Amino acid sequence: MSEKVRVGIIGIGTIGSVHANAYAKVDNVEVVALCDILPDRLAEKAKVHNVAKTYADYNELLADPEIDAVSVCVPNNMHAPIAIAALNAGKHVMLEKPMTLSAELGKQILAARDKAGKQLQMGMVWRQKPQARLVKEIVENGRLGDVYQIRVRLIRRRGIPGLGGWFTTKAMSGGGGLIDIAVHFLDLVMWLSGKWNPTKVSAKTYSKFGSPIADYHFVDMWAGPPKADGTFDVDDYATGMVRFGSETTLTFEVAWACNAQDESYVELLGTKGGVKISLDSDPVLHTEIDNRIADVTLKYNKKDEAFADELQKFANAVQGKGVVPATGEEGVVAMKLLDAIYKSSELNCEVDV
């Protein structure tokens, strides 16, 4: 392999461009090719990111012997077929979240990875946030003691992305706010706590604001504008409880849209301390010092290059200089949890994960 990992990006929409910009900050990577089914967008992004080679068909990109690895940044329903094809073609794979549409498809990706002997990294970028890494150190140092309760709250007043497009079309996305944004925080808290054994789920999802599309009022929109003649057949709100055996519980509330104030945090409660992570404030460790109740504000370097850090670790793993920070096995666990949440909502009862 050359000194630099030669990367092709498959899907150069919003998140594909995020990857391209992040790779530009990684010294041992060169983005050598882009692929997209929209010719105008492909030509525009090739110019923006200064990439000479372009492909309309991802199979042609995968046949390019000059490409070592790919970032898969396409709609969710294409994650599994493209990731499997890439691994079969001998490419390392950086796979954006969610892993795919179901845990069973995730297992097929793992099988392809094992057969190919290549690296597979999940796009769980929140793990690279500086406040998340700080809290991970605190947990590993035993500051929280035994973590027995976890809270996830991720509320957008009006935050449905690309309304009417693939994000809100179940056949392409697999679901709504739960599979789109909750997957980040569900993965994050399992990584922080080390609890990778969800066993039971009782949950409910709702779809209240995205349809009719013409009646959805918003300030701005990721991956917009809305398509008035498009589809909205997914969830925009989800809530529930997850059991990790008999030792730990997780409660969550996630909304793409609801009549509540924007709020975003995860909180871990332990026998020695508790801590909350949000984008709005420094983490505070609620604990005891010298037999007195104490709140400790945690200071840290707030420079946030999460995507670049994530892709740097991917490149290092490809070159044999490290390991991927989010594994395919962890991606399958997250998909099992999402599958169970949707099943619980459909059946209106607690289900096994």
Tell me the per-residue pLDDT of 270-307, one tens digit each, with 9 for 90 and over. 999 999 999 888 999 999 999 999 999 999 999 999 99
Residue 187 has pLDDT above 80, yes or no: yes
Residue 1 has pLDDT above 70, yes or no: no
Q: Kindly report which listed range (2-6, 31-35, 143-147, 260-264) carries the lowest average pLDDT score.
A: 2-6
Tokens 């590993």 — which residue? Answer: 140
State residue 160's pLDDT score: 98
State residue 280's pLDDT score: 85
Mean pLDDT across the stretch 36-50?
98
Crossing angle of the two packed helices 183-193 and 328-347, in degrees rounded to 10: 120
Mean pLDDT across the stretch 101-124?
98
What are the E-state strand segments in the chain? 5-10, 29-35, 53-55, 69-72, 92-96, 120-123, 147-155, 200-206, 237-244, 248-255, 263-270, 274-278, 284-289, 292-297, 351-352
Mean pLDDT across the stretch 240-246?
98
Q: For residue 250, what are its two tokens?
A: 């997780």
Residue 238 has pLDDT above 80, yes or no: yes
Helical (H) or strand (E) element with 232:
none
Q: What one-character DSSP code corresponds to residue 231?
A: B
Closest CA to 328 of 82, 112, 62, 78: 112
pLDDT above 70 covers a percentage of the chain that reads 100
State residue 279's pLDDT score: 83
State residue 134's pLDDT score: 96
**Mean pLDDT over the full length of the chain:** 97
Residue 2 has pLDDT above 80, yes or no: no
- Alpha-carbon distance of 170 to 233, in angstroms, equals 6
State residue 203's pLDDT score: 98
- Tell me the pTM: 0.96
State residue 108's pLDDT score: 98
Residue 163 has pLDDT above 70, yes or no: yes
Residue 126 has pLDDT above 90, yes or no: yes
Structural domains in the chain, CATH included, are 5-124+307-326 (3.40.50.720), 127-305+335-352 (3.30.360.10)
- Alpha-carbon distance of 36 to 9, in angstroms, equals 9
Closest CA to 254 of 149, 178, 189, 179: 178
Mean pLDDT across the stretch 8-27?
97
Q: Is 82 exposed, middle or buried (0-12, 13-18, 19+ CB in 10 A)?
A: buried
pLDDT, tens only, 59-93 = 999 999 999 999 999 999 999 999 999 999 999 99
The letter for the amino acid at 319 is Q
